[in-house]
Amino acid sequence: MKHTKKAVKHLLPLGAALMAGGLSMQAMAEGVDEKKAEETTLSTVKVEANVEVEDGYRATKTRVGRTLQDPHDIPQAITTVTRALMEEQQVGSLREALRNVSGLTFNAAEGGRAGDNMMLRGFYTFGDMYLDGIRDTAQYNREIFNLEQVDVLRGAAATMFGRGQAGGVINMVSKAPKLKDEYKITGSIGTDGYYEGTGDFNKKIGEHSAIRINAMHRDEGSWRANPANGDEPEIHRDGLAISLGFGINTDDEFNLSHVHTITDDKPDYGISFNATTRSPQTTYPAKTYWGTDRNFDNSETAVTTGTYTHKFSPDSELRTQVRHGQYDRSYWARTPSLTVAPNAGGTICTPNCNGGPTRVMNYETYAVQSVYNNKLNLLGMKHEFLAGVEYLHEDLFRNALRNLGGTTGANPPRYAPYEAATTGAVRFDADSYAIYGQDTVEFIPQWKATLGLRYDQLEANFSSNTSPKLSYGELSTRASLAYHQTDEINYYVSYSDSFSPTADLYQLTVTPLPPECSQVVELGTKWLFLDGDLALRAALYHANKDWERNTDVESTAAILTKQRKTDGFELEAAGRITPNWEVFSGLALMDSKVLQVAENVNATTGVVTTGNAGYVGQRSRNTPVYTFNLWTTYKIPNIFGGTLKVGGGIEAKGDRYGYNPSGAGAIPTLAGSSAFHPNTAPAYERYDAMVSYERKNWTLRLNVQNLLDTTYYDALYDNGGFTTPGTRRKGQLTAEYKF
């Protein structure tokens, strides 16, 4: 793999200094010796087990409901990917961590939407990404080195989070300072040029204050390569996060954090579909890459957040957050071809040379939000009340890159990072305001009713001549009824809705259309077993979405579908079955269909045409009938004074369709058939394995991804043009040291 230095030059010296400083800090006091540990009583073993529950696969705390609570008590489906699970699987990116979420699939980057791009329950999530409860919709690849956990709140969530989709909210939870000295460094090496180093340093600096520093650097190549020159997709990423906490565990707590990440990747756009078979092409091997080292995907992200929490009582607090985010991104990718083999120049000329997707973006945000919550008794009933206000300012510049070359084989297209084209720029600035309230009332013992209401107002200015302004106000509601049979068992039925004038960021249309609107009804149950060590949940849901827009800000000509739905069933388990056996698993069954076809508005004439009626009743894009994930480990203690842990997992997905349901042209079929048959990424199963040996201060771990070395396709361009192969067999060896 060809390593580059440009992206890392700013962070590496500081990261190295931090790690060196961390190594010089005084180590924590030694614990009991091995002989004494062997004499540990049964009660002490139980205490240690309870500690592991907090740091295992079952999350016991979340703020995804806008107040700190146990996810078991929230009347809505929630999946939490914990830090312990992410570390055991040796994942580095948010995308890899979300492989543990049932009902989630990955979109390949195109249509102006690059970076983290997922579907949940068959609906887009790019407008539903949050960092510590604040909207984080910028287009970039998110890392997990500074994350404590990832919460996925399923279903429409506009009452809690504002405009969004029907699938749910993905909320990343940052690591926070703790009142103890605790330091950890890790180093990993692996196949395909993989290397990662991380540091997590927490230092108590006062009675109620602490500082925490996390640093990361990762290089990674690929099993895919351009056969003409050996160039391959690459990842080069750096991150640094600093967090200061004051008044920790007091009535007035303040946290100031800053996260800075840099990427310098070589993007991979996968392979084409065969137009005859509607399956991934076989003219060129799956390992074939059309890009070159001249392609790039560069980004720099800086997010600064201040959080102040005042506790009026143990059951009442006011939490206020202020954030500034700066997101810069520039990329030039090479799309695959069905007929032209890769060449050393990365050109496809038929006869003119296609430059490939390019983009430069600058996105800046300012956010303020405040949430008050209180538990109280009123009129003989228990209430859990919360209310909040939010403000968000967004400022975007976006354009294609300027061609610094030509359009012929002798003078092919050439681009440089952040060199924007002189015409075609998209600009907008927007201000969003919101106020909301919710009350959960235990109106009779064991029965709780929840009702929430929110109002959002959006004012935006665009560079578009046809739609220069957007002014929008909308109410959102949430309601549920829950029966808590015991502390361990509850049942619920819930309703929630969402709205969005968004597509990529905001959708403009020549003729005003209603916003995207979603409604979700869910019937579920949550169970705790084995003294709370193991959590099970099940949910049946119906999700409906109207007026779904396409994925580009300035695409005034079309929407994707007028109405579609997903009916689904989910079953999940997380926690410990025995003191040594842990499991995290999920099954999602989805029946997703187009109910009404698109109404397309001609950007020039305003004439409305409809999509082909043959799309009605067809399965939605990139929504498999099933997904299944399982990760389980078993530990064997007292092996030469340490613990041996073995584990593994499976990720399985059904086949996924890629097509554009907006067009009035013929529906996709196989040759000689009139039956609907779009481009299809085949079903797959991927098996992973892990073995580790743990001592008090250090751990050695070996991870093998795709153990059976299967060729599979895990990301799909939902318009159907191409699909991206997943990793082949890959090994990673990690050493971890705590002091």
User: For the segment 489-518, what is each residue's pLDDT rounded down to a tens digit?
Assistant: 999 999 999 888 754 455 566 666 778 899
- Residue type for 377, please? N
Whole-angstrom distance, CA of residue 587 vs CA of residue 628: 5
Q: Which residues contact 474 (CB under 8 A, 6 or more apart)?
A: 158, 163, 455, 456, 499, 515
In the predicted model, what is the mean pLDDT of the chain? Answer: 88
DSSP 411-430: S-----TT-B-SS--EEEEE
Whole-angstrom distance, CA of residue 127 vs CA of residue 496: 17
Q: Quote the pLDDT of residue 571.
A: 98
Q: Quote the pLDDT of residue 564.
A: 94
Phi-psi bin for 275: left (phi > 0), alpha (psi -120 to 50), beta? Answer: alpha
Judge whether residue 551 has pLDDT over 70.
no
Q: Work out the average pLDDT over 403-412.
A: 91
**Residue 34 structure tokens:** 């091995």
pTM of the model: 0.89
Spell 611-632 as b/e; 16+ CB within 10 A means b: bbebbbebbbbbbbebbbbbbb
Q: Work out the average pLDDT over 391-404.
A: 94
**Who wins on pLDDT, 21 or 699?**
699
Which residues are registered as beta bridge partners of 399?
A: 360
Q: Quote the pLDDT of residue 585.
A: 98
Q: Quote the pLDDT of residue 599.
A: 85
Q: Is-contact 722 336, C-beta < 8 A?
A: yes
The model's pLDDT over 255-292, given as tens digits with 9 standing for 90+, comes to 999 999 999 999 999 999 999 999 999 999 999 999 99
Q: Work out the average pLDDT over 216-236.
A: 96
Q: Quote the pLDDT of residue 197.
A: 98
Whole-angstrom distance, CA of residue 721 vs CA of residue 337: 10
The model's pLDDT over 40-99, given as tens digits with 9 standing for 90+, comes to 333 333 333 333 334 799 999 999 988 899 999 999 999 999 999 999 999 999 999 999
CB neighbours (10 Å) of residue 319? 22
Q: Work out the average pLDDT over 131-149.
A: 93
Whole-angstrom distance, CA of residue 502 vs CA of residue 162: 12
Residue 158: which pLDDT band, with cuts at 50, 70 and 90?
A: confident
DSSP 310-347: EEEETTEEEEEEEEEEEEEEEEE-----SSS---TT--
The model's pLDDT over 617-651, given as tens digits with 9 standing for 90+, comes to 999 999 999 999 999 999 999 999 999 999 999 99
Domains detected in the chain: 6-158+186-738 (2.40.170.20)
CB neighbours (10 Å) of residue 41? 8
Whole-angstrom distance, CA of residue 315 vs CA of residue 375: 5
Spell 67-89 as b/e; 16+ CB within 10 A means b: bebebbbbbbbbbbbbbbbbbbb
Q: Work out the average pLDDT over 705-731.
A: 94
Q: Quote the pLDDT of residue 559.
A: 79
Q: Work out the average pLDDT over 6-12.
A: 41
The model's pLDDT over 159-185, given as tens digits with 9 standing for 90+, comes to 899 888 889 999 999 999 999 999 999
Residue 18: which pLDDT band, with cuts at 50, 70 and 90?
A: very low
Q: Is-contact 322 294, C-beta < 8 A?
A: no
Q: Quote the pLDDT of residue 472.
A: 83
Q: Work out the average pLDDT over 131-140.
A: 92
Residues of the chain above pLDDT 70, percent: 88
Q: Cis ω on the peptide bond leading into residue 351 (within 30° of 0)?
A: yes
Angstrom CA distances, 577 to 142, 472, 529, 643, stand at 32, 50, 9, 18
Judge whether residue 445 has pLDDT over 50.
yes
